[in-house]
Amino acid sequence: MRVGVLTGGGDCPGLNAVIRAVVRKGVKEHGFEFIGFRDGWKGPLEGITMPLGIEECRGILPRGGTILGSSRTNPFKVEDGVQRIQDNLAEAGVDALVAIGGEDTLGVATKLADLGVKVVGVPKTIDNDLSGTDFTFGFDTAVNIATEAIDRLHTTAESHHRVLVVEVMGRHAGWIALHAGLAGGASIVLIPEIPFDIDEVCGLVQRRFESKYAPILVVSEGAVPKDGTGMTLASGELDAFGHVRLGGIGDRVAKEIEDRTGAEARAVVLGHVQRGGTPTAFDRWLATRFGLQAIGAVADGEFGVMVALRGKDIVRVPLIEGTGELKVVSPEEYEEARVFFG
């Protein structure tokens, strides 16, 4: 059997660990042959490939990013895109496809599976917002990077008696902000799921100063105020999946705090630092287990599924369970953390 592998969407720590696990088990236990499709769905769409065997996978376990490259290509937005993919898979002699990606990449995989393409999905996103799985790889690394940044910012905030606003990734879900904020001892965490009251935020900032400590705020890029004034800034055009690029909420919150309280405030945008570099041990472990289960599904002839972490077990679930609805922070989970705010 010849198996194609692709990685789509934003890069993420742990992608190479999945590729490595898929190929090593596939070759050693099942005698499969592999071909890598370059740059996400652009690869099968345009027939862009690379050799993918055990030799190509040596030394990639600790590497961030993806040796296959990635893109946000959406074949359903390209004329004859689906037919071109089917033709290129047939021409390359590909019997099955392992698609590693987030909501958008696996959304394409779901549609292709419905059209008869033999595909297995592996969930990837630093945002941890894919339903169907308890955790996605990449999330733990992003949280650790954000937490370390918050730890470092505490010292400069205290030295200058300054408010520091840390903007982290999280378009629709505040998992990174909530986990990193709690782990880093932030004074306030603002997330997309719970619109915030800027007056309440300023009150918490002043209360923090009264306790002789400088406030650290952690803000998801998709956080919005209750009054609907749209403090989050959108820049750039829509991508192939209809997303705008978010950014600027950290600066806007810092300016509001400074104007309303008189305290000096600065914003720090972590941006793509959160998704780059060496994956944590947990992400390597989870990504490897996902890869082993994914190629197991291919060997069993079980397609149209996504591998997922449920408790301690890696299971196979229908692809639609991973892409049908985003997993977001509940009001109860957020309320539980509020005891540490202020």
Contacts of 342 (CB under 8 A, 6+ apart): 187, 188, 204, 207, 208
Nearest to 47 by CA among 101, 97, 90, 96: 90
Residue corresponding to tokens 């996103």: 125
Distance CA 120, CA 304 (A): 6
Q: What are phi and psi of 236, to 5 degrees?
A: 85, 175
Which residue of the set 39, 127, 129, 140 is catalytic? 127
DSSP 234-277: EES---TTSPPEE--HHHHHHHHHHHHH---EEEEE-GGGGG-S
HSE on the CB side for 276, CA within 13 Å?
A: 4
Residue corresponding to tokens 């393409």: 117
Residue corresponding to tokens 């345009």: 46
Known active-site residue 127: yes
**CA angle 252–185–126, rounded 5-degree value:** 70
Active site residues: 127
